[in-house]
Amino acid sequence: MRRLKDAEVAWIASQLDLYSISDTEWKESLLDHICSSIEEREESTSIEEAFEWAKGQFLPEEWKTIEIKIKQNMENEKMKTVLRTLGGVSIVSAIFLVTGSILKIAHAQGAAAMLWSGIALMGIIGGPILGYLLFKADQKKMDWFLMLLLTFFVVRFSYGVMARIQHWDNAAWTMIFSIAGFVLVYLPINFTHEWRKSEQKFQVIWKHALMLMVCVMLFTLFDLRAM
């Protein structure tokens, strides 16, 4: 019966580390199982060959389950990092937008810079992250996200309408930013989401084309030279 050395056990553990197994208890159980299989083997081979042989002792279904769980753990860790980054970007962007809105209401300087900073930050950094999450997120979660995103742009546009009624400064720019955000952010994400899950591709194209046409017509109502 073979007796593994501490260095060999450490090497096997390092190989399991390559799979990014985050569950310590499960990793130790798997390490113990592989080491026991190698020590019970009568044939004397290198630790590398013995490790590959021990992996083969699992039933195909068992090892497939292990690989699936490993991939899930790796994907979960990646998603946590992405979500933390998106959360940080969203918070900073929201601070800029809220501050810009307050400065705009108070007719103070720096409002435009704050609003543009918030939009640029979310567009340059948050946009690609949202695009990545689009292909990774659960479909139901994406539906909720799109509904909240649509609500944000509608509320923002409604605020611009109310500001226009009250004759506040830059009310038109508020509505323009809302239209631009709807076209540049919401429409591409929603189009991709519906394209993936819908079998009626033509209806998806037609619906989004109509929404784009409405936004273009609304945009033409603003005289940018007079603003």
- Residues 157 and 224 placed together within one structural domain of the fold: yes
What is the pLDDT at residue 225? 61
pLDDT per residue over 33-85, tens digit each?
Answer: 788 877 777 667 777 787 777 776 664 555 566 666 666 666 667 777 777 88
User: Is residue 116 domain-resident?
Assistant: yes
- Residues 143 and 224 placed together within one structural domain of the fold: yes
Residue among 142, 119, 158 at smallest CA distance from 191: 142
User: Is residue 72 domain-resident?
Assistant: no
As a whole number, mean pLDDT of residues 139-151 equals: 76
pTM over 0.75: no
Phi, psi of 174 (to 5 degrees): -60, -45
- Residues 147 and 224 placed together within one structural domain of the fold: yes
User: Is residue 73 domain-resident?
Assistant: no
User: Is residue 66 domain-resident?
Assistant: no
What percentage of residues in the chain have a pLDDT greater than 90? Answer: 0
pLDDT per residue over 114-137, tens digit each?
Answer: 877 877 777 778 777 776 666 665
As a whole number, mean pLDDT of residues 1-21 equals: 75
Q: Which pairs with CB-CB distance under 8 Å and at least 24 residues apart come from 103-109? A: 104/168, 104/169, 104/170, 104/174, 105/168, 107/169
Which tokens sit at 67? 């690989």
- Residues 113 and 150 placed together within one structural domain of the fold: no
What is the pLDDT at residue 136? 64
- Residues 177 and 98 placed together within one structural domain of the fold: no
Confidence at 139, pLDDT banded by 50, 70, 90 = low
Which tokens sit at 48? 């590398």
- Residues 176 and 192 placed together within one structural domain of the fold: yes
How many structural domains compose the chain?
Answer: 3
- Residues 150 and 215 placed together within one structural domain of the fold: yes
Which of 86, 104, 136 terminates a domain? The answer is 136
Measured CA to CA, the distance from residue 220 to residue 50 in angstroms comes to 72
Q: Which pairs with CB-CB distance under 8 Å and at least 24 residues apart come from 216-223? A: 218/175, 218/179, 219/176, 219/179, 222/172, 222/175, 222/176
pLDDT per residue over 180-202, tens digit each?
Answer: 888 888 888 888 888 887 788 88
User: Is residue 149 domain-resident?
Assistant: yes
Contact by Cβ (8 Å): 160, 200: no
Per the structure, the complete domain to which residue 48 belongs is given by 6-57
- Residues 30 and 108 placed together within one structural domain of the fold: no
